[in-house]
Amino acid sequence: MEKSFFAPTKAWKFLFRKPVTIKVPYEKREASERYRGFHINDWSKCIGCGTCAKICPTDAIKMVEVPELPQEFGKKPQRPVIDYGRCSFCGMCVDICTTGSLKMTREYVHISPDPETFIFMPTEKGIHNAEFPLGWTRDADSDLLDLERVEMEMVEAEERVKSFIEYVRGYSKERAMKEASRCVECGICTDRCPQHMNIPEYIKSIWNDDLEEGLRWLYKTNPLSSVCGRVCTHRCEEVCSISHRGEAIAIRWLKRYIIDNVPLEKFDEILKIKPEKKDKKVAIVGSGPAGLSAAYFLATMGYSVDVYETMPKPGGVMRYGIPRYRLPDEALDKDIAFIEALGVRIMTNVKVGEDISLEKLHEEYDAVFLSTGFGLGGSTKVPGTDHPDVIQALPLLRAIRNFLRGDGPKPKIPRKLVVIGGGNVAMDVARSMARLQMMEYGEVHVHVACLERTYEEMPADMEEIEEGEEEGVVFHPGWGPIRVIIEDDKVKGVEFKKCLEVFDETGRFNPKFDEENRMVLEGDMVVEAIGQAPDYSYIPDDLKEKLEFKRGRIVTNPSQQTNIPWLFAGGDIVHGPDIINGVADGYRAAKGIDEYLKGV
């Protein structure tokens, strides 16, 4: 009884203690190191991908266009705006930020009678422009992205150099889905792709295991997906938002996965292309990427399309340039077969300008699309290049593919080869020849020299260089040829001088050399792969006069229409430099031709 009466009075001792509360706002209290306070965003790092807005569970983040921001590839001119009336301060936006630009500070007090101030676009400074220490930041534990690419199975270098089999094996279903799961659907890749393919959409359909849907997305923009899925220059992957902190999504391989895993017989049923036939006819000169792309899109619009091709088989550079280990005939055949199934007629072994003239095409067809590509090679024109064992890359690649297909004789295989050039064509020559040497002599002796001083400067893809090295190709970046050494009328090698600079201050090609620093590469054959040139000999002079040329390329309007209304052009002769740009040209030309023919 007494105990229960007196015990509570012990609390009276607290009368003489200081209060535990602090007097806000006179006294400040700093938040803890991990505190999830107001956001800051480093605009120099932010790419406007919008992943923060996607993960936001309360829809507090909106991406807002910022017109002052420059329009550039790999970045969207938009920045996140946060509505602190909705924000739950969960920090998921910080944990998933693809660049790490979005962070949280320890600032946590904002009082205002104006509700508009609670909607805030974070910059490097916080909501009150005051410096606060960082709060919640992403670390390896809290990271919400998957940064590691699913490795592509490839045939080992020792094995693949012995033959021309396709060494990239392609993804299995599990691996493709795993790779697809890393995508955050920002669409920065779509902006970068010359043809603006619906990349996030088809990756999502892989993730949903709906390849038919994926195929429909592919064919909306690209009838050469089987080719592009193998040899596209994949500019999309360079800008992939995941690549800022990790490895880019293997967009190219995922495209290949879709097209490889839907049988050709089902294409018709899935894509359901049933255009209304139109009574207009279009001729296409050249069956390369641009020509085939234009043919496909015109056919889907209902035009009857005839493609004229000089070579015995359609495909252009895809059939006669790119080596078989990267692009087997079967892959190309699949794409072409579907285009032909739409009613496109491909006339092979017909050379426009000789077998049929351009004027004749104009008479018989309502519009003509030129996509003849760059069929001629360039030469360094140093002394000795006129020797028969100094050859051009493109004819050699053509000869190798013909030989492998059984359509041509075996090309001359040197014991020692020197390749001049640092682009993908030079890589194709070097790696093809390495294979032929291995098959013929059991050893590889290929040296590649180019002006560019580092691997990064070289126009070739890094993976091409790395894989070439694995196969035994030796690279010598930073050397310019002086002369081809010829003794007893036989090629013995090439003498080089050190290249100091490739481009001058204005960015123009103007190499500077160190004349003293020299080097000799031995070889009994030299291949020049320093760029290609167009052949316009099939265009009659009167038409040529009307056309406008700029640096060897035909000038067109955005619809690929030349100065001659019925004549459209695309591909390397207009834009270059790769297949996907050709596809894009073909797409634009098809639309341009459609509009032109509707107006006629």
Partner 1 sequence: MGEVKFFFGPNHPGMNGNFSVHLYVEGDTVVKARPIPGFLHRGFEKLMERRLWFQNMALIPRICVPEPDINEICYSMAIEKIAKIDVPERAQWIRMIVLELARMANHFMSFPGIGGPLGLYTGPNWGVADRDRILDIFEALTGARVYHMYIIPGGVRKDMTPKIEDLIQKTIDYIESRLPDYENLIFKNRIVHTRLKGKIILTREQALEMGVTGVGLRATGVPYDIRKVDPYLFYDKVDFEVPTATEGDAFSRVYLKFLEIPQSIKIIRQALEKMPAGKVNVRISEGSALRYRVPKGYAYVHVESSRGEYGYFMVSDGGEKPYRVAVRGASYPQGLYGIEKYMPGTRIEDVPVWLATMDVCAPEIDR
Q: Which residues bind partner 1 (CB under 8 A)?
A: 1, 3-5, 7-8, 10-11, 14, 20-21, 31-36, 51, 54-55, 57-58, 88-92, 95-96, 135-136, 139, 141-142, 144-146, 177-178, 180-185, 207
Nearer to partner 1 among residue 92 and residue 311 (C-beta): 92
Nearer to partner 1 among residue 58 and residue 517 (C-beta): 58
Angle subtended by helix axes 264-271 and 211-221, to nearest 10: 80
Nearer to partner 1 among residue 27 and residue 516 (C-beta): 27
Token match 């509707």: residue?
598
Task: Lay out the sheet containing 78-83: strands in order across.
Answer: 61-65, 78-83, 119-120
Taking the complex as a whole, the smallest distance from the CB of residue 250 to partner 1 amounts, in Å, to 13
- Are 568 and 562 contacting, i.e. CB atoms less than 8 angstroms apart? yes
Nearer to partner 1 among residue 146 and residue 212 (C-beta): 146
Taking the complex as a whole, the smallest distance from the CB of residue 1 to partner 1 amounts, in Å, to 8
Which tokens belong to 190? 């779509």
Nearer to partner 1 among residue 53 and residue 404 (C-beta): 53
Taking the complex as a whole, the smallest distance from the CB of residue 264 to partner 1 amounts, in Å, to 30
Nearer to partner 1 among residue 132 and residue 297 (C-beta): 132
Taking the complex as a whole, the smallest distance from the CB of residue 272 to partner 1 amounts, in Å, to 28
- DSSP string covering 457-517: TSSS-HHHHHHHHHTTEEEEESEEEEEEEEETTEEEEEEEEEEEEEE-TTS-EEEEEEEEE
Nearer to partner 1 among residue 138 and residue 401 (C-beta): 138
Taking the complex as a whole, the smallest distance from the CB of residue 29 to partner 1 amounts, in Å, to 10
Nearer to partner 1 among residue 140 and residue 263 (C-beta): 140
- DSSP string covering 542-589: HHHHHS-EETTEE---TTSB-SSTTEEE-GGGTT-SSHHHHHHHHHHH
Q: 568 - beta bridge partners?
A: 369, 561
- Are 436 and 446 contacting, i.e. CB atoms less than 8 angstroms apart? no
Residues listed for the chain: 600
Taking the complex as a whole, the smallest distance from the CB of residue 5 to partner 1 amounts, in Å, to 5
Taking the complex as a whole, the smallest distance from the CB of residue 130 to partner 1 amounts, in Å, to 20
Nearer to partner 1 among residue 10 and residue 274 (C-beta): 10
Residues contacting residue 325 through CB under 8 Å, at least 6 positions apart: 160, 163, 164, 165, 166, 167, 431, 432, 435
Nearer to partner 1 among residue 83 and residue 522 (C-beta): 83
Q: How does DSSP classify residue 39?
A: E
Taking the complex as a whole, the smallest distance from the CB of residue 583 to partner 1 amounts, in Å, to 29
Q: 499 - beta bridge partners?
A: 513
Taking the complex as a whole, the smallest distance from the CB of residue 184 to partner 1 amounts, in Å, to 6
Nearer to partner 1 among residue 16 and residue 509 (C-beta): 16
Task: Lay out the sheet containing 446-450: strands in order across.
Answer: 390-392, 525-528, 417-420, 446-450, 473-477
- Are 261 and 255 contacting, i.e. CB atoms less than 8 angstroms apart? no
Residues 559-596 as b or e (16 or more Cβ within 10 Å = b): ebbbeeebbbbbbbbbbeebbbbbbbbbbbbbbbbbeb
Taking the complex as a whole, the smallest distance from the CB of residue 168 to partner 1 amounts, in Å, to 22
Taking the complex as a whole, the smallest distance from the CB of residue 535 to partner 1 amounts, in Å, to 48
Q: How far apart are CA 479 and CA 498, in angstroms?
A: 5
Residue type, 458: M
Q: How does DSSP classify residue 283?
A: E
Residues contacting residue 567 through CB under 8 Å, at least 6 positions apart: 362, 367, 368, 370, 543, 547, 561
